[in-house]
């Protein structure tokens, strides 16, 4: 109903939804695994803002919950792979996932006034970037210290399992 509540709601939404939180963590881990900085999480966050805009404009994306759960499964699988796709391909896929995640975020602010919406966008973009940056920094340090990314691959398998569970709940109801 106001900008403060919008901001707090934005901070909370990506954290309380296990599907959104898992994806943001994967984005940070994948950025560490493929290197070249935070291109993957930045692509995701910027596209999630766009996805919220699509929802607010009344443009519909097909089966958003299916694609959100599928993105967690798919990106967990990407992280688990020994050979990575090119960084720009992963960043483009992250942006596509961001549209669907952002579309879901938009549900929380349908009908709100512009100050509340703007604060909400700032809140969820900020918390997502913070989580991705911390995940990236910690995992990059661990990879550099141990000299390999095997732990990141194991995390990818675990997060793909989370994605599979989320996807099965969407498919089976």
Per-residue pLDDT at 120:
95
pLDDT at site 150? 80
On whether the pTM is more than 0.85, the answer is: yes
Angle at 68 between CA 169 and CA 66, to 5 degrees: 50
CA angle (158 as vertex; 153, 160 as ends), nearest 5: 90
Structure-block tokens of residue 82: 């020994």
Classify burial at 117, counting beta carbons within 10 Å of its beta carbon; exposed 0-12, middle 13-18, buried 19 or more: buried
Instruction: Look up residue 17 and give its two tokens.
Output: 């939804």
State the pLDDT at residue 147.
63
d(CA 45, CA 55): 16
What pLDDT was estimated at residue 155?
93
Rounded-to-10 torsion of CA 72, 87, 43, 37: 110
CB 72 within 8 A of CB 156: no
The neighbour count for residue 150, using CB atoms within 10 Å, is 11
pLDDT tens by residue, the chain, 173 residues? 789 999 999 999 888 899 999 999 999 999 998 877 899 999 999 999 999 999 999 999 999 999 999 999 999 999 999 888 999 999 999 999 999 999 999 998 999 999 999 999 999 999 999 999 999 999 988 877 666 678 889 999 999 999 999 999 999 98
Give CA torsion, residues 62, 76, 15, 167, to 10 deg. 40
- The closest of 126, 95, 131, 165 to 9, measured between CA atoms, is 126
């Amino acid at each position: 109903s106001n900008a403060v509540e919008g901001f707090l709601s934005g901070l909370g939404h990506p954290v309380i939804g296990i599907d959104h939180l898992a994806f943001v963590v994967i984005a940070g881990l994948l950025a560490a695994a493929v290197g070249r900085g935070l291109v993957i999480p930045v692509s995701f966050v910027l596209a999630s803002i766009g996805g919220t805009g699509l929802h607010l404009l009344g443009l519909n994306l097909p089966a958003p919950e299916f694609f959100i759960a599928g993105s967690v499964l798919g990106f967990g699988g990407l992280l688990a792979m020994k050979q990575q796709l090119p960084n720009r391909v992963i960043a483009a896929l992250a942006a596509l996932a961001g549209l669907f995640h952002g579309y879901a975020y938009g549900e929380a602010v349908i009908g709100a006034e512009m100050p509340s919406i703007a604060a909400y966008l700032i809140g969820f973009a900020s918390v997502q970037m913070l989580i991705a940056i911390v995940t990236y920094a910690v995992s990059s340090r661990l990879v550099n210290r141990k000299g390999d990314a095997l732990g990141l691959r194991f995390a990818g398998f675990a997060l793909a399992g989370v994605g599979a569970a989320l996807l099965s709940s969407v498919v089976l109801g």
